[in-house]
Chains A and B, each alone.
Chain A
Amino acid sequence: MELLEMGKYGAYVWTAFGLTFALVLINEWRVRARQATVYRDIEVRIKALEENE
């Protein structure tokens, strides 16, 4: 419990750390999601072109 309280600054310290790790996770997720979206869009377009040829 003492660890969580961080003196009387627990709310500030844990909020700052929580936001930081949330932002890191969001950045990681966005990188993966964008790669998957771009790849899928190109794949669909190229396969449609292949079928038309």
Chain B
Amino acid sequence: MWKWFHQLASPPYFYRIVPAFSAWLMVPGLALIAYGTYAGLFLAPVDYQQGDAFRIIYVHVPSAYLSMLSYMILAVAGGIGLIWRIKLAHAVAASAAPLGASFTFLALVTGSIWGRPMWGTWWEWADPRMMSELILLFFYFGYMALRSAIDDTAKADKASAVLALVGVINVIIVHYSVTWWSSLHQGQTIMAKGGPAMDPGMLYPLLAMIFGFNLLFGSLLLRRTRTEVLFRERRTRWVREMILSPEGQS
């Protein structure tokens, strides 16, 4: 097992295995999203309080979940890169940032679209969940700006990893904001005490969407990291041999 992890950290090995591995994530991911979308839009019963507007949950919750997961991947990978100086870990962190930022933006926009008919407002500045999620988006922007401001890749990796680790505090605040403070945002639903507080007809499509988006995100992250590895290793012998080989691009 350790041997495999050790091998995985090797850029040529990682570059070679990603296409097959990402396809194994993407195909079931798309299937789950197709089922979740259909069931969420057309099969799930109407919510007795929110009417059909609740169906926004099927895109809002997976994107909000990914906004936090992506940041944790970014921070953990950055930490691993700092401590064990594994180059691949920094490539993972750098690749997770734009994906995480896009899903955070989506969580904010879909939340806002949901908020308008339910709360009567697009945005509430005093709401802890909304504000901490907005700060999360700024952490992503700050991380990417810091990386692009430093020309030396090694220095950019270290500085951005430190910033990423500081931002973990905000992810904890995002997650527990609905528990710690009074918020317009509803509390925990899937992970509520005593089990999910949802009808199974609503819950299963939501779980399908969450798992489906996670798999799709995994596929995107792997392929982004693969390109990042190629860019970072562009002056190495294995890249030169791969480019000049008859197989070429794959």
Contact = CB atoms under 8 A, between A and B. Distances in A.
Interface of A: 3, 6-10, 12-13, 15-17, 19-20, 23-24, 26-28, 30-31, 34-35, 38-39, 41-43, 45-46, 50
Interface string B101-112: 011011001100
Contact of B102 (A6, A23, A39, A45): A23
B227 A12 contact: no
Nearest to A3: B42
B63 A31 contact: no
Interface of B: 37, 41-42, 46, 51-53, 55-56, 58-60, 63, 98-99, 102-103, 105-106, 109-110, 113-114, 116-117, 216, 220, 223-224, 226-227, 230-231, 234, 239-240, 243-244, 249
B243 A46 contact: yes
A19 B106 contact: yes
Contact of A7 (B46, B231, B249): B46
B52 to A, nearest CB: 4
Residue in A20, A24, A26, A27 whose Cβ sees the most chain B Cβ within 10 Å: A20
Given A20-B63, A34-B224, A12 B53 contact: yes
Contacts of B116: 12
Contacts of B216: 24
A42 B59 contact: no
- Name, among A3, A7, A15, A43, the residue most crowded by chain B CB atoms within 10 Å (CB to CB): A7
A12 B109 CA distance: 11
Nearest to B249: A39
A39 B244 CA distance: 12
Given A23-B106, A46-B243, A46-B244, 13 more contacts: A9-B51, A16-B56, A16-B60, A16-B113, A17-B41, A19-B59, A19-B109, A23-B102, A27-B99, A31-B220, A35-B226, A38-B234, A50-B244
